[in-house]
Amino acid sequence: MGEVDSAFIQATGHRPKLDTTEVEGIPLIDLSISDTRDIKELVSEIGNACQRWGFFQVINHGVPLELCARIKKAAKTFFDQTMEEKRKVKRDEVNAMGYHDSEHTKNVRDWKEVFDFLLKDPSFVAASPEPEDKEIRTLTNQWPENPPEFRNVCQEYAREVEKLGYKLLELISLSLGLPANQLTGCFKDHITMLRLNYYPPCTCPDLALGVGRHKDASAITILAQDDVGGLQVKRKSDGDWIPVKPIPNALIINVGDTVQVWSNEFYESVEHRVVVNSERERFSVPVFFFPSHYVMVKPLEELVNEQNPAKYKEYNFGKFFVARNRSDYKKLEVENIQIHNFKISD
């Protein structure tokens, strides 16, 4: 179970009672354990943050700080290249990995450029979102020849963040009163994706967004951002958009749609967006932790009872992923499927 203390699992018979007091900004959580702070306190902090905000920042997360700096530098080096060079590894409807920009995706809302790659290469997903289609297709990464060190840095960073991802899944499981390894089996053949985001300066920042309001389809997302800022979270208590202040050496974590379903809405996936800057470029590196393509997502049995019945129908994650991917590529032509499509009516 990695770094989580297995002894605490036996002592966790119930979900912790969470404090719902709001704070001005999203919580900052130290993931280290010490003589004055045990695993029970850490799990309680994780649960509070997931319930109140759906977002939190972490320090002492275990990802080498030098590597965090290198991945941001690698992103800048790649995006500083000519458009011709970047489009040598452009994505399309067949291969969803590689480079794309707002023009290529027909998404005029988003003022950014992107490079995507899979942590597991190759990865396997459903061939189509159609229920009767049982075929599986293969996704593979596209790596640019330049800059030459780009691939190694990206893969090294991905390996370290993957370790953190499993630790966070264990902590979230414990915060729900479940065994630490309750969720990890769903990620045996995960289709987790790392994205490099580049937001150029925008001369009319009031007329564009780096990324429009949205929720993540992942179980969790782990984000590294630079010191420019721009990420905003929709506060659950009043709907206000709250800026996420860049904190040196911290990573930003948010609960995604998959955990919302697993937890039967005890934890919610929260809307967020990115505003652009008129003077400075911005880089960020999110890692989207997606389960294996064959995982059937539904509220966990341990969290469902007569007083709290299941709020979602079961769905296949691979088909859900493919449907979301197609709608992202052709924003104007395909329905952007969401988890509310599987919501059970009251």
Does 91 fall in a domain? yes
Report whether 76 contacts 147 (CB < 8 A): no
Give 282-328 pLDDT, tens digit per residue. 999 999 999 999 999 999 999 999 999 999 999 999 999 988 876 55
Which pLDDT does position 6 carry in this prediction? Answer: 42
Report whether 62 contacts 71 (CB < 8 A): no
Distance CA 341, CA 311 (A): 11
Confidence of residue 129 (pLDDT cuts 50, 70, 90): confident
Which pLDDT does position 111 carry in this prediction? Answer: 85
Mean pLDDT of the chain: 88
Does 1 fall in a domain? no
Does 336 fall in a domain? yes
How would DSSP label each residue in 126-145? ES-S-TT---EEEE-----S
Q: How many domains does the chain have?
A: 1
* Mean pLDDT computed over 60-85: 96
**CATH number of the domain that residue 279 is part of:** 2.60.120.330
Q: Which residues contact 139 (CB under 8 A, 6 or more apart)?
A: 95, 96, 97, 118, 122, 123, 124, 125, 191
Does 21 fall in a domain? yes
Does 2 fall in a domain? no
Report whether 146 contacts 81 (CB < 8 A): yes
Model confidence at 191: pLDDT above 70: yes
User: Which amino acid is it at 65?
Assistant: L
Which pLDDT does position 328 carry in this prediction? Answer: 54
Which pLDDT does position 18 carry in this prediction? Answer: 39
Of residues 160 and 102, more confidently modeled? 160
Q: Which of 16-25, 209-218, 232-241, 249-258 has the lowest mean pLDDT?
A: 16-25
Model confidence at 9: pLDDT above 70: no
Does 197 fall in a domain? yes
Q: Which residues contact 90 (CB under 8 A, 6 or more apart)?
A: 98, 99, 100, 104
Q: Facing residues of 126 across strands?
A: 136
Question: By residue range, what is the domain housing residue 106?
Answer: 7-342
Does 262 fall in a domain? yes
Does 93 fall in a domain? yes
Distance CA 56, CA 71 (A): 21
* Mean pLDDT computed over 70-79: 96
User: Which amino acid is it at 305?
Assistant: N
- The answer to pTM > 0.85 is yes
